[in-house]
Amino acid sequence: MGRPRRNGDAGGPRRMSGWLRKVEAVRRMGWGWGLWRAGYELRRRTGWLKRQFPTPVWSEVSLHSLLRDGVPPEPEAYRAYREQSSGTFLFGLGKLPSREVLERIAGASGVRRAVQVADDFCTGKFLYFSRHVFDLGTPVDWRRNPFLNRRLASDAHWCDWTAFSPEQGDIKDVWEPSRFSCAFWLVRAYAMTGDEKYPQAFWRLFESWCEQNSPNRGPNWRCGQETAFRIMAWCFALWGFWKSPVTTPQRVAAMVAALAVSAARIEPNIDYAVSQKNNHAISEALGLFTVGALFPELRDATRWQRSGRRILEREVLRQTYADGSYVQQSMNYHRVMLHDCLWAWRLAELNGMPLSSDVRARVAAAAEFLFEMLDESSGSVPNYGANDGALVLPLSSGGYRDYRDTIGAAMFIATGKRVLPAGPWDEAILWLCGAGAVENTPAVRHPAARRFDVGGYYTLRTGRTWAMIRCHRYLDRPGHVDMLHLDLWHDGVNVLRDCGTYRYYAPREPGMEKYFKDIAAHNTVQVGEGGPLELVSRFIWLPWPGARCTRHSADSFVGEHDAYARPPWNVMHRRSVDASDPRKWIVTDDLIGGGEQSLILRWHLVDGPHELESTGHRVILRAACGRVRIAIEGPSGTALRVKRGVERDGEIAGWASEYYGERAPAPVLEATCRAVLPTRFVTTIELPDAGEAPA
């Protein structure tokens, strides 16, 4: 990267005109992508797309018409046929893990948690984004947005629904219960207790959902990925509740018909998911593959299985980089991708058609990547990138931010070894791989300092402290504006943190919606009055910046980015991290350029008591791990301020979001100045001694 030109003070980026935005977006995403999206819009506006998705009522959906010739369509005969001829699932029909094994692995608290969540589902109380609980009534109102206490009553074709409407609010608030994550909790509670109320509750929920959601009508059919997640959950419930007396032949027939209709909803529109260049394509392909592999008696099963597998393998290789990092630059979407891939890996393997060696190697690399991002003390990973609250496979009772169940299962499936100490997170391995898998003695490994150059992730580890740094040249569209962001962890506490996501759509809080994506919500330096990128659509930032790492070791890092190295700023930002003293981390930020600039260095802190010393250059943070002292030296006139929960006069500062749809005040330390470039900030972070008591 060359030295930037000299320039005077600058505000925000020069905004592109509407046509220039479109041209630049198409150039970045690909001209083929642009042509395809234009054609898709033509199909939608002319009604051609809608005609591909008929809207029968459920009584008009005949199982007989969906089955291959020779398969008995009568419910009793069909159920008996499936006993002998079904595809192979994660476990046999009704053959659940034993109560004793589950109690031993999940522990008393894990069992209590699973039963409590399942009991809530039995009474219409739904868990949203692993955080909020809302009572949707009995029968459940599947069209309600409980965050707004508003119901989406229209029965319009899904093609006519928009995902972003102020009247309906965030569509994810309506979709969340229709993913049927409840099925995983209900089956787990059933296996733990044997209580028939859980299959009874599931079938009531399934039937009420069908009553309120005719094929291809209403908001819950709008997204193919949501349909795919529902397919996975319904299959888990069908196998899990197979031996319950309430799983009648009529209900089995209705379920299989609904699964076939769901696959038919995904198939004609999966090219749209592929055009999004994200996890939607993997999930939707998995939905097709699942129905095709598990229900070979369906007339279209072979085509669904083959096309789903082909698209899934192609997209895994495209979306997962060679170093194991993921296209969407998000820890949670990395987990979504892994959940999809682990399900696909096991179903393909169990049904005698294993995924290709290239795909398995890529999934193994993705598992290794997430393992290296693990904070061993807490089980968490950096709250980095887009976080939409998705938890595709809730197969243990750990918290949403605990990634050990996913990492443990992924590493076992990919390598045949348990790399984490035994714990309740092993329940996921039990459900995916069977009781024999959890009998193996763990070969415990520990994350190390690693570099992932393709994705642009670098970790440093020194004793009880570790850091993740982002230094990335974008190969795909940016998610957040976060160049050289640094996450710092000590004794399980995320001392310097990423603020999260909050919401994708907050029509009543547009400033807050943008804040979490932009530079002000990350631990880096802002030049001028705003971030260097422009949000040209809801999920596309332009232009795409570049960065490079020039040094990396277990205790040091140097990297630089060029997001500001163009008019009107012409500034290069270089960040150096020195952790040679494990108790004192030093971060040096060099701003290389010319002229006078306004600068803001931000450090987002774990929430807790804090004080700014009278000298004005050091903050003392009282965290669960002890006292953390953060001092900043900057150019002459640098002022330090701690802001928390600010939302006034157009300013937003000091907010964090651990869970989708929830935000809370959290302190941010800001060092601000106007300085002639080149200039430098030096941040010293003093960490508590090993024996120091928590503050």
Residue 587 belongs to domain spanning: 18-28+448-686
pLDDT score at 22? 62
Average pLDDT score over residue span 415-441: 95
Q: 678 lies in a domain?
A: yes
Residue that finishes a domain, picked among 439, 466, 487: 439
Average pLDDT score over residue span 393-400: 98
- pLDDT over threshold 90, residue 637: yes
pLDDT score at 536? 82
Alpha helix (H) residue ranges in 351-493: 357-372, 404-415, 427-433
Sign (positive or negative) of CA dihedral 108, 114, 115, 117: positive
Q: What is the CATH number of the domain that holds 560?
A: 2.70.98.70
φ, ψ dihedrals at 248, nearest 5°: -80, 160
Distance between CA atoms of 470 and 483, rounded to whole angstroms? 6
Q: 240 lies in a domain?
A: yes
**472 and 377 within one domain:** no
Q: Which residues pair with 642 in a beta bridge?
A: 669
Q: Cβ neighbours of residue 622 under 8 Å, at least 6 residues apart?
A: 608, 609, 610, 695
**453 and 435 within one domain:** no
Residue that finishes a domain, picked among 408, 439, 470: 439
CA distances from 380 to 398, 409, 489 (A): 11, 15, 10
Report how far Cα 70 is from the mean position of its chain's Cα atoms.
43
Per-residue three-class SS string for 122-180: HCCEEEECCCEEEECCCCCCCCEECCCCEECCCCCEHHHCCCEECCCEECHHHHHHHCC
- pLDDT over threshold 50, residue 5: no
Residue that finishes a domain, picked among 381, 406, 439: 439
**190 and 91 within one domain:** yes
Q: 487 lies in a domain?
A: yes
**109 and 84 within one domain:** yes
**637 and 531 within one domain:** yes
Q: What is the pLDDT of residues 122-142, one digit of tens each?
A: 999 999 999 999 999 999 999
pLDDT score at 299? 98
Q: What is the pLDDT of residues 85-107, one digit of tens each?
A: 889 999 999 999 999 999 999 99
User: Which is more confidently placed, 165 or 317?
Assistant: 317
Average pLDDT, the chain: 94
Closest CA to 205 of 172, 251, 267, 145: 251
Percent of the chain with pLDDT over 70: 95
Q: Cβ neighbours of residue 129 under 8 Å, at least 6 residues apart?
A: 176, 388, 389, 400, 659, 660, 661, 662
Distance between CA atoms of 228 and 308, rounded to whole angstroms? 11
pLDDT score at 43? 85
- pLDDT over threshold 70, residue 11: no
| Burial class of residue 612, CB neighbours in 10 A (0-12, 13-18, 19+) | middle
Q: What is the CATH number of the domain that holds 120?
A: 1.50.10.100
pLDDT score at 7? 47
CA distances from 347 to 183, 260, 340, 406, 610 (A): 18, 18, 11, 17, 51
**435 and 455 within one domain:** no
Q: 49 lies in a domain?
A: no
pLDDT score at 511? 92
Confidence of residue 62 (pLDDT cuts 50, 70, 90): very high
pLDDT score at 283? 99
- pTM of the complete model: 0.95
Q: What is the pLDDT of residues 582-633, one digit of tens each?
A: 999 999 999 999 999 999 999 999 999 999 997 878 999 999 999 999 999 9
pLDDT score at 8? 45
**497 and 426 within one domain:** no
**479 and 341 within one domain:** no
**474 and 454 within one domain:** yes
Confidence of residue 26 (pLDDT cuts 50, 70, 90): low
pLDDT score at 590? 99
CB 519 within 8 A of CB 628: no
- pLDDT over threshold 70, residue 25: no
**469 and 429 within one domain:** no
Indicate the number of domains in the chain.
2
Q: 530 lies in a domain?
A: yes
Please report how many Cα atoms fall inside a 13 Å half-sphere around the Cα of residue 114, on the Cβ side.
31
**487 and 390 within one domain:** no
- pLDDT over threshold 60, residue 29: yes
Q: What is the pLDDT of residues 142-163, one digit of tens each?
A: 999 999 999 998 899 999 988 8
Q: 65 lies in a domain?
A: no
**141 and 236 within one domain:** yes
Q: 58 lies in a domain?
A: no
Sign (positive or negative) of CA dihedral 113, 119, 121, 123: negative
- pLDDT over threshold 80, residue 36: no
Distance between CA atoms of 324 and 362, rounded to whole angstroms? 6
List, as one string, the DSSP characters of 250-312.
Answer: HHHHHHHHHHHHHHHHHGGGHHHHHHTTSHHHHHHHHHHHHHHHH-TTBTTHHHHHHHHHHHH
Q: 293 lies in a domain?
A: yes
Distance between CA atoms of 390 and 512, rounded to whole angstroms? 21
Average pLDDT score over residue span 492-521: 95
